[in-house]
Chain A
Amino acid sequence: MCSHCSCGVAEVPRELPQEVSSASPPAPAPLPRTLAVTTSLLQRNDELAAVNRQRFAAAGVRVVNLLSSPGSGKTALLEQLAGRLQRRGDVAMAVVVGDLATDNDARRLAATGTPAVQITTGQACHLEAAMVQRAVDELEARGQPLSELALLVIENVGNLVCPAAYDLGEGLRLVLLSVTEGEDKPLKYPAMFHSADVVLIAKSDLAEVVGFDRAAARAAVARVAPHARLLEVSARSGDGMEALLELLL
């Protein structure tokens, strides 16, 4: 009842009981606005690549990112390289190898006595710096310290497109082109060849058989990778392997 005139209208108490609820009241709709950000999509990878690069430098190991299309002879080249290094006896090499599936390549390399860690990427068509970091951790966990290696080769997933964008922390990027692939591969995949420090023309022992045009291939490499060192090698005959070793060590 109203205390002023007794009119029957209930007086509103000074203190109202408060509704207890865990739900917060609906926020007012924020105003649309634009944020300028400018961040590389590869920022996280590039940061981890820098961490890898520091780790490799601290250990004093030369790290090579080996890139090519599938079936162009990366693993055969490394088997040949491993054999030569073992005969010399003074240079220790290990390999990290990436494929979508199977550990076939790591097993081939391990059979030569080379410490090898397989990265199976599942659906990923390239290696990323984080995968290399984990693989190197595994190599060390298996009792192969980085600091005892002279050379670490990262055999990337066979692909001439995607791996080009991913820095792994390597010191040298080696792109391999086999004579069976056609002389114009560098022109078809300029981004990959543009990033190469060294271009290898592999399977040179088959050059005559497949009618490989050396001059055309060299001209194609010179157009997209004028800065790159160019070497011809054959893992089968061993031609050019000593020159490659000189360049890597």
Chain B
Amino acid sequence: MHELSLMEALRDLALQQAEAEGAVRIAVMTLRVGSLAGVEIEALRFAFAAVMADTIAAAAVLRIEVVPAVCRCGGCGRRFAALDGVCECPSCGAISRELLQGRELQLTSLEIA
């Protein structure tokens, strides 16, 4: 259940950014979350509501873009979706480590007023 500490980090980041812009409220926060980031989206939403209470983001909407895990084959260079987190190339069958995306835990934008 580290979703709570991630949402606390999000709150601190978002408030800092919004206040630097002189915002009086945050309407929307958009996150990119990788499918191998090790978090549960529902748990993120639950924690989000709890940690934003009593801030200028209390009524903010949380938008989450899920980033699918994509690997690059160490053998033939093909890019492919890493199903179940395994980088097994569908072309040549090689198993490699290079994950191009899928671990993201990023705040990408804030809608403020």
B113 and A36 form a contact (CB under 8 A) = no
**B84 touches which of A27, A34, A190 (Cβ 8 Å):** A190
By secondary structure, the A interface counts as: mixed
In the bound complex, do residue B17 and residue A35 qualify as a contact, i.e. CB atoms below 8 Å apart?
yes
Complex CA–CA separation, A187 to B22 (angstroms): 47
The count of residues in chain B whose C-beta lies closer than 8 Å to any C-beta of chain A is: 41
Q: State whether A32 touches B112 (Cβ < 8 A).
A: yes
Take A32-B111, A125-B2, A165-B105 as given contacts and tell me if A39 and B38 are in contact as well, using a CB distance cutoff of 8 Å. no
Interchain nearest-CB distance for A25 vs B (Å): 14
Are the CB atoms of A39 and B106 closer together than 8 Å? yes
The one of B1, B4, B97 that contacts A227, using a Cβ cutoff of 8 Å: B97
Q: Are the C-beta atoms of A38 and B107 separated by less than 8 Å?
A: yes
Residue A126 is within 8 A (CB to CB) of chain B in the complex: yes
Task: Decide: B107 and A125 in contact? CB cutoff 8 A.
Answer: no
**B36 x A42 contact (CB < 8 A):** no
Chain A residues lying within 8 Å of B6, measured Cβ to Cβ, are: 41-42
Residue of B1, B85, B96, B107 touching A190 (CB-CB under 8 A):
B85
* B105 interface neighbour in A41, A128, A227, Cβ under 8 Å: A41
Residue B92 lies at the interface, judged by CB distance under 8 Å to chain A: no
| Bound CA span A123–B3, Å | 12
CB–CB A36/B24 < 8 A: no
CB of B13 within 8 A of CB of A39, answer yes
Q: Quick check: A33 and B112 within 8 Å, CB to CB?
A: yes
* Chain B residues whose C-beta falls within 8 Å of the C-beta of A222 in the assembled complex: 95
Q: Which single member of B95, B105, B108, B109 contacts A223 (CB below 8 Å)?
A: B95
How far does the alpha carbon of A125 sit from the alpha carbon of B5 in the complex, in Å?
Answer: 10
Residues of A close to B103: CB separation below 8 A: 165, 191
Q: Is the CB of B106 within 8 A of A38?
A: yes
Contact B17 A41 (CB under 8 A): no
- Residues of chain B within 8 A of A37, CB atoms compared: 13, 17, 107-110
A200 to B49, CA, bound (A): 40
Interface centre among A32, A161, A187, A194 (most CB of B within 10 A): A194
Contact A162 B85 (CB under 8 A): no
Is B57 engaged at the interface, CB distance under 8 Å to the other chain?
A: no
Chain B residues with CB under 8 Å of A162's CB are 1-2, 38
Rounded to whole Å, the gap between the CB of B75 and the closest CB of chain A is 11
A30-B22, A162-B1, A226-B97 known; A42+B108 contact, CB < 8 A: no
A1 contacts chain B at the CB level, 8 A cutoff: no
Q: Chain A contacts of B36 at CB under 8 A?
A: 190-191, 194
Smallest Cβ distance from B71 to chain A, in angstroms? 10
Q: Shortest distance in angstroms between A47's beta carbon and chain B's nearest beta carbon?
A: 12
Give every chain B residue within 8 A of A31 (Cβ-Cβ): 113
Q: Mark B78-113, 1 if CB is under 8 A from A, else 0.
A: 000000111110000001110100011111111111
**Residues in chain A within 8 A of chain B (CB atoms):** 27, 29-45, 123-126, 128, 161-162, 164-166, 187, 190-192, 194, 222-227
